[in-house]
């Protein structure tokens, strides 16, 4: 896949995520994908496999009453197998409001996501939101 194709796949993935479209996300994630989430919150870990990743995504929605959104600001491709999604993560939970900038470095192979690594502008704010 070339850079434009990978960016198109990631636009489709962001759209599916924000609509809660698990069918499309299942198509886009490789079964052996890994998702890396830093920090000290109850969410922080490495999620192994697409089932675990999609369960994590479901938990984001469930624990925020469906308010969690990944507001895509830009997608940048390296010309190889990586695409960086620059976004704002927003949500409400237990009287708290999340609004934190972050980016995710995605690795793709044959049109499927094989790795996602999140990086937060303010990891403390992310961790506090989930505490």
What is the domain-level CATH number for residue 60?
3.10.450.50
The answer to whether the CB of 124 falls within 8 A of the CB of 100 is no
Q: Which pLDDT score, from 0 to 100, does residue 1 have?
A: 80
> Could you tell me the residue range of the domain that residue 14 belongs to?
3-130
Please compute the mean of the pLDDT values over residues 73-101 and round it to a whole number: 96
**C-alpha dihedral over 65, 71, 77, 80, to 10 degrees?**
0
Backbone angles phi, psi at 60, to 5 degrees: -55, -45
The number of distinct structural domains making up the chain is 1
Please compute the mean of the pLDDT values over residues 106-115 and round it to a whole number: 97
Q: Give the DSSP letter of residue 95.
A: T
Q: Dihedral sign, CA of 33, 38, 44, 45?
A: positive
Of all residues in the chain, the percent with pLDDT exceeding 70 is: 100
pLDDT digits (tens, 9 = 90+) for 20-71: 999 999 999 999 999 999 999 999 999 999 999 999 999 999 999 999 999 9
């Amino acid at each position: 896949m070339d850079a434009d194709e990978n960016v198109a796949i990631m636009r489709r993935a962001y759209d599916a995520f924000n609509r809660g479209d698990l069918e499309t996300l299942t198509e886009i994630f490789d079964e052996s994908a890994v998702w890396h989430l830093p920090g000290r919150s109850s969410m922080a870990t490495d999620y192994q496999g697409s089932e675990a990743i999609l369960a994590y995504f479901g938990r984001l929605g469930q624990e925020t009453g469906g308010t969690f959104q990944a507001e895509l600001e830009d997608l940048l491709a390296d010309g190889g197998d990586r695409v960086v999604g620059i976004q704002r993560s927003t949500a409400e939970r237990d009287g708290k409001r999340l609004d934190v900038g972050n980016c995710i470095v995605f690795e793709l192979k044959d049109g499927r996501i094989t790795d996602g690594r999140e990086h937060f502008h303010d990891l403390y704010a992310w961790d506090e939101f989930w505490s």
